[in-house]
Chains A and B, each alone.
Chain A
């Protein structure tokens, strides 16, 4: 289980990223954040977001129509 959870289901670009960024501030360095989304564009976007911010995307998976991302805060 991740340390924090953001439910961004039903939200469209760029809201899942904005909600994740906001929540990531409250995650301790080394901690993890799970984001749930239904926006298929979020897959590429979370990869890009993590590359640009230097955080680790430790998990990206899809279950039916729900995408799940786990981000590890690195700094």
Chain B
């Protein structure tokens, strides 16, 4: 919540848990916190996996027509029929992780640690915890468990509210 009336604030609903979609919320949260904003992240549905102690994030080209990997000096997309072959997701994940490293992009673990260290408030959706049978002891230290009302109350006080 606001420390004082001059402090800007941002909230985010984080709904996706793939390697690619994990980036926007953590990049924006850490940057906003660095710029002095109070930040709250509400993790729901597949986004909740981003709070697990051990992250094993994957990326899939299946159904993702916009996904093009730079290869041999060009950009390669993948037809769905190929994407569906076992092993293709794993290969795409390895390729994405190697690009991330090569291009000096932070890992999700690194960004998440930075978010925790800069006092980003994290709320784990109680309903999703029940639905997917997650336990709090599988999660990193820090998140509080809450529901839609907890998020809405917070969001009414924020300058920026995002759904990712």
Contact = CB atoms under 8 A, between A and B. Distances in A.
Interface string B95-128: 0000000011110000000100010000000000
Contact of B105 (A12, A17, A20, A52): A12
Interface residues of A, number: 15
Contacts, number: 36
B83 interface: no
Using C-beta atoms within 8 Å of the partner chain, give the interface range for chain B. 10 to 19
A18 B114 contact: yes
Interface of A: 10-15, 17-18, 20-21, 39, 48-49, 52-53
16 contacts: A11-B104, A11-B106, A12-B104, A14-B27, A14-B31, A14-B34, A15-B106, A17-B31, A18-B34, A18-B106, A20-B34, A21-B35, A21-B118, A49-B35, A52-B8, A53-B36
